[in-house]
């Protein structure tokens, strides 16, 4: 029976004649895990198989390129537009069907002006417009022959999708990619039959739809993915999208996969924690209401927020992407009433998105098995060992979870009186609730696995307990880095400001340090109505943060009137002000509270000595080198997984 708390999420649905067992859809996300020629790899196959097995109703694959003749960087996909590609699709579809889900192949023709900068070749677009990553370089416009060739590629791909026994196909036209570049006037400056009027700009999409329909027949659903609006000046508006959707509905498109945004002011392609849960559902609902169409919608859904959106009639199907990378079994766990066992996505974008920028196959910050399901299974050992994990932060918790799941006898030591390490303070802001949920998930798993937890105990090289264990994993984490600025004792360290909000007094707050932690603290205080100023000695705030996270964070600082003093060095911190040197000379910024956010440094007073005494010791997380949550969690996973 469906989970009683999620009646809408687990209700039967139909798109055209395609019946679905629930309203949970895996949304299309690139993994970069295909074979070198673009064919389906074994890793890719097992990745999709695992998500289908986990209980989704429909899997929409990552985009399947119907051609390799558009973007220079996809010319390696030599299987595109060949029967060899179809054979891979057939394997993929059968694997998904075998696990009880339906499969929709998303068909696309490339990124055009948004193409990743992995090549020096000229980008291509609907017309001669600037490349996104290289605004000083103009794209060349597609020729008429190339457009006709693209239409033919989609048509042949549809025929091959039928041979592969796919249940549906989706036309990829969102986020300012090639088809969107034809649809949208800001990118389409053509003066031929594929530019100018609305009908001309829609012509390529119309011809593609008609080509697909000619091959799949009247019964196979055709979906279309596009943004409700682009959310930047000059981009497509909601009213224009309504016109597009009504036009495609009249042609016969069965359902619309609605998201938001484009690469300009990039914040919606992979929305972050700062946008909140179900962050694009409200905009998708406007399309559903105006056009009376079936709407699928992605964007930071949690099971609870998706259920609410479905119950309110905002959307018809909830699409989960990164949440299923983090936990492929999420649908079945909820269906069976085990919500506490769901590994909650952090929407951190660290590994799933960050690796795309590196031209690497993705994985997950908190699920090292993602896209590596075959390589890293958790298997009960035939040789159980006694394992000590020192440190109860994210790295230590994951090490304890994995080691105990594999059948080892694990004891976790932490000098604090609560588990979670830095995450206890770092997760305090309202928009970081998923980090709190992750700590609770880890605590629940180690309890279920029988891990012995010893709190308030600092382990040193001389601790007699260590001699009792076969293996030791050190994950002692990091501590705040406080530079020798005169008066630094007058500041409240940023983690303490979260742990002890009573230390933050008054309404005028100065945050010293404009990294991610400082900016997040500033944003939380701005939400509380405080008058906040950030001081940063570099020219920009959080310059090394991933664009998909940095943009929405900075936009919200701007929208909440947080003042920013960059290229400004702090000279002294007084009880009621900060003295700093900026581009225009010395300034004094009055403050009721100064928050110090200068980063972290490894806490490793005993690491080397313990390793010398116990040479098989593994060291993970921030006590080696300070990083993000993903480095600690993944390090903890592999340290434990490697113990056989």
In whole numbers, what is the pLDDT of the chain averaged over residues? 96
**Three-point CA angle 461, 465, 469, nearest 5°:** 100
Q: How far, in Å, CA of 470 to CA of 618, rounded?
A: 12
pLDDT at 638 over 80: yes
| Whole-number pLDDT of residue 118 | 75
Domains 13-358 and 488-598 share a fold: no
Sequence ranges of the domains in the chain: 13-358, 386-480+601-641, 488-598
Q: Residue range 23-49: average pLDDT?
A: 96
Q: Which CATH class is domain 13-358?
A: alpha beta
Q: How far, in Å, CA of 614 to CA of 337, rounded?
A: 43
pLDDT at 325 over 90: yes
pTM of the model: 0.96
Tens digits of residue pLDDT in 95-120? 999 999 999 999 999 999 998 877 78
Tens digits of residue pLDDT in 380-394? 999 999 999 999 999
Residue 430: C-alpha distances to residues 303, 425, 426 (Å): 18, 12, 10
Q: Residue range 559-584: average pLDDT?
A: 96
Tens digits of residue pLDDT in 155-202? 999 999 999 999 999 999 999 999 999 999 999 999 999 999 999 999
3-state secondary structure of 73: helix
Q: Residue range 422-437: average pLDDT?
A: 94
Q: Is 162 exposed, middle or buried (0-12, 13-18, 19+ CB in 10 A)?
A: middle
Query: In the chain, what is the greatest distance between 2 CA atoms, to the nearest angstrom?
Result: 81
Neighbour tally for 585: CB within 10 Å: 7
Give the tokens for residue 419.
Answer: 């588990």
Q: Which fold has domain 386-480+601-641?
A: Rossmann fold (3.40.50)
Strands (E), 359-455: 386-390, 409-414, 452-455
Backbone angles phi, psi at 270, to 5 degrees: -135, 80
Q: How far, in Å, CA of 72 to CA of 124, rounded?
A: 8
Residues near 82 by Cβ (< 8 Å), separated by ≥ 6?
none
Per-residue buried b or exposed e for 524-558, using 16+ beta carbons within 10 Å of the residue's own CB: bbbeeebbbbbbbbeeebbeebbbbbbbbbbebbe
Q: What percent of the chain has pLDDT over 70?
A: 100
Q: How far, in Å, CA of 63 to CA of 66, rounded?
A: 9
| Whole-number pLDDT of residue 293 | 98
Q: Which residues are catalytic?
A: 177
pLDDT at 263 over 70: yes
**Spatial contact of 393 and 475, defined as CB atoms under 8 Å apart:** yes
| Whole-number pLDDT of residue 2 | 57
| Whole-number pLDDT of residue 623 | 84
Q: How far, in Å, CA of 242 to CA of 226, rounded?
A: 11
Backbone angles phi, psi at 387, to 5 degrees: -125, 130
pLDDT at 1 over 90: no
Tens digits of residue pLDDT in 182-192? 999 999 999 99
| Whole-number pLDDT of residue 622 | 86
Tens digits of residue pLDDT in 266-280? 999 999 999 999 999
Q: Residue range 470-487: average pLDDT?
A: 95
Tens digits of residue pLDDT in 74-91? 999 999 999 999 999 999
User: Would you give the DSSP letter of residue 175?
Assistant: B
Give the tokens for residue 388.
Answer: 């000590």
* DSSP secondary structure, 179-220, as one string: HHHHH-TTT----STTSSSHHHHTHHHHHHHHHHHHHHTTTS
User: Would you give the DSSP letter of residue 636?
Assistant: H
* DSSP secondary structure, 496-531, as one string: HHHH-GGG--SSEEEEE--SHHHHHHHHHHHHTT-E
Band of pLDDT at residue 60, cut at 50, 70 and 90: very high
Per-residue buried b or exposed e for 183-216, using 16+ beta carbons within 10 Å of the residue's own CB: bbebbbebeeebbeeeebbbbbbebbbebbbebb
Tens digits of residue pLDDT in 310-320? 999 999 999 99
Q: Of 460, 599, 454, nearest to 516 (Cα)?
A: 599
* DSSP secondary structure, 263-314, as one string: STT--SSS--GGG-TTTTHHHHHHHHHHH---EEE-SS--HHHHHHHHHTTS
pLDDT at 627 over 80: yes
Tens digits of residue pLDDT in 120-156? 889 999 999 999 988 999 999 999 999 999 999 999 9
Q: How far, in Å, CA of 188 to CA of 181, rounded?
A: 6
Band of pLDDT at residue 4, cut at 50, 70 and 90: confident
Q: Of 200, 633, 177, 597, nearest to 394 (Cα)?
A: 633
What CATH number is given for 488-598 in this structure? 3.50.50.60
Residues near 197 by Cβ (< 8 Å), separated by ≥ 6?
none
């Amino acid at each position: 029976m469906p989970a009683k708390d999620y009646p809408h999420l687990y209700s039967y649905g139909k798109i055209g004649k395609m019946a679905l067992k629930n309203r949970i859809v895996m949304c299309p996300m690139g993994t970069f895990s295909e074979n070198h020629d673009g064919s389906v790899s074994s890793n890719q196959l097992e990745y999709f198989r695992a998500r289908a097995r986990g209980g989704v109703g429909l899997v929409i694959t990552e985009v399947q390129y119907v051609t390799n003749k558009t973007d220079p960087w996809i010319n390696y996909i030599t299987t595109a537009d060949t029967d060899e590609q179809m054979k891979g699709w057939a394997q993929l579809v059968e694997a998904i069907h075998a696990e009880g889900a339906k499969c929709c192949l998303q068909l696309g023709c490339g990124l055009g002006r948004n193409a990743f900068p992995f090549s020096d070749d000229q980008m291509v677009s609907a017309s001669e417009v600037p490349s996104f990553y290289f605004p000083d370089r103009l794209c060349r416009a597609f020729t008429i022959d190339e457009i006709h060739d693209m239409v033919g590629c989609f048509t042949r791909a549809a025929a091959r999708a039928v041979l592969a026994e796919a249940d549906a196909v989706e036309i990829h036209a969102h986020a300012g990619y090639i088809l969107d570049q034809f649809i949208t006037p800001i990118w389409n400056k053509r003066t031929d039959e594929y530019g100018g009027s609305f009908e001309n700009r829609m012509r390529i999409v119309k011809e593609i739809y008609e080509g697909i329909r000619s091959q799949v027949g009247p019964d196979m659903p055709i979906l279309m993915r596009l943004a409700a609006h682009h959310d930047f000046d000059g981009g497509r508006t909601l009213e224009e999208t309504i016109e597009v959707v009504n036009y495609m509905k009249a042609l016969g498109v069965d359902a619309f996969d609605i998201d938001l945004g484009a690469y300009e002011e990039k914040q919606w392609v992979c929305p972050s924690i700062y946008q909140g849960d179900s962050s694009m559902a409200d905009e998708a609902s406007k399309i559903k209401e105006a056009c009376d169409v079936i709407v699928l919608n992605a964007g930071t859904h949690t099971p609870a927020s998706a259920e609410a959106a479905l119950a309110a009639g905002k959307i018809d199907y909830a699409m989960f992407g990164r949440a299923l990378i983090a936990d492929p079994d999420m649908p079945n766990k909820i269906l069976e009433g085990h919500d506490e066992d769901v590994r909650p996505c952090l929407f951190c974008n660290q590994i799933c998105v960050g690796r795309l920028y590196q031209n690497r196959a993705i994985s997950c910050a908190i699920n090292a098995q993602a896209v590596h399901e075959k390589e890293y299974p958790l298997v009960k050992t035939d040789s159980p060992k006694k394992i000590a994990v020192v440190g109860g932060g994210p790295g230590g918790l994951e090490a304890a979870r994995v080691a105990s799941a594999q059948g080892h006898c694990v004891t976790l030591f932490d000098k604090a009186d609560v588990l979670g390490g830095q995450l206890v303070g770092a997760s305090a802001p309202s928009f970081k609730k998923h980090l709190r949920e992750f700590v609770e998930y880890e605590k629940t798993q180690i309890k279920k696995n029988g891990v012995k937890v010893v709190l308030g105990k600092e382990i040193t090289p001389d601790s007699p307990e260590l001699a009792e264990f076969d293996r030791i994993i050190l994950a002692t984490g990091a501590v705040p880095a406080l530079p020798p600025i005169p008066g630094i004792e007058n500041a409240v360290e940023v983690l303490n400001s979260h742990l002890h909000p009573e230390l933050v007094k008054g309404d005028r707050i100065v945050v010293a340090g404009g990294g991610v932690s400082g900016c997040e603290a500033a944003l939380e205080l701005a939400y509380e109505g405080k008058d906040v100023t950030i001081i940063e000695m570099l020219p920009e705030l959080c310059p090394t943060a991933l664009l998909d996270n940095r943009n929405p964070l900075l936009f919200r600082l701007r929208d909440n009137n947080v003042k920013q003093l960059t290229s400004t060095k702090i000279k002294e911190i007084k009880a009621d002000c900060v003295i700093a040197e900026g581009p225009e000379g010395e300034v004094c910024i009055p403050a009721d509270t100064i928050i110090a956010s200068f980063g972290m440094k490894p806490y490793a007073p005993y690491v080397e000595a313990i390793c010398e005494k116990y040479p098989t010791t593994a060291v993970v997380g921030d006590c080696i080198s300070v990083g993000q949550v993903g480095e600690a969690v993944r390090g903890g996973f592999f340290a434990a997984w490697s113990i056989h």
